[in-house]
Amino acid sequence: MAKEQIRTALETDDCVMPGSPYATHFLIEAMLLSGMNEEAKAYLTDYWGGMVRKGFDTFPEAYDPADELFSPYHFVPLNSNCHAWSCTPVYFIQAYPDVFLR
């Protein structure tokens, strides 16, 4: 049941999506706990990989792949550009090596 709910949310255009690496961590964790291992790996790779492909050398407080000027403060210069909670890829690689290292 959880898989279907997550898939429905991800496929719904007007669904509110996480606006930060912090919140995205919990989406990926929910996917993993629901048995959506391949989808979780793809989501993580696309989300954090998108930042790397855009030239980020640190991960920002807020990131929306569809809106490069996204800011929860409505003013991009106020975003922090180096947040520890953005270490999600390292956490998941360590916690789920069977998913992320194959």
Tens-digit pLDDT profile for residues 47-59? 999 999 988 888 8
d(Cα 93, Cα 91) in Å, to the nearest integer? Answer: 6
Bigger pLDDT: 38 or 58?
38
d(Cα 57, Cα 55) in Å, to the nearest integer? Answer: 6
Residue matched to tokens 């999600």: 88
> What digits encode the pLDDT tens for the residues 65-77?
888 788 888 888 8
Q: What is the CA radius of gyration of the chain?
A: 14
d(Cα 101, Cα 38) in Å, to the nearest integer? Answer: 12
Q: Which of 38-47, 66-75, 76-85 has the highest mean pLDDT?
A: 38-47
Bigger pLDDT: 59 or 41?
41
pTM of the model: 0.88
Provide the token pair at 32.
Answer: 């993993």
One-letter amino acid for residue 57 of the chain: D
Provide the token pair at 81.
Answer: 């550009």
Within 10 angstroms of residue 32's Cβ, the number of other Cβ atoms is: 19
Within 10 angstroms of residue 66's Cβ, the number of other Cβ atoms is: 7
User: In 3-state terms, what secondary structure has residue 64?
Assistant: strand
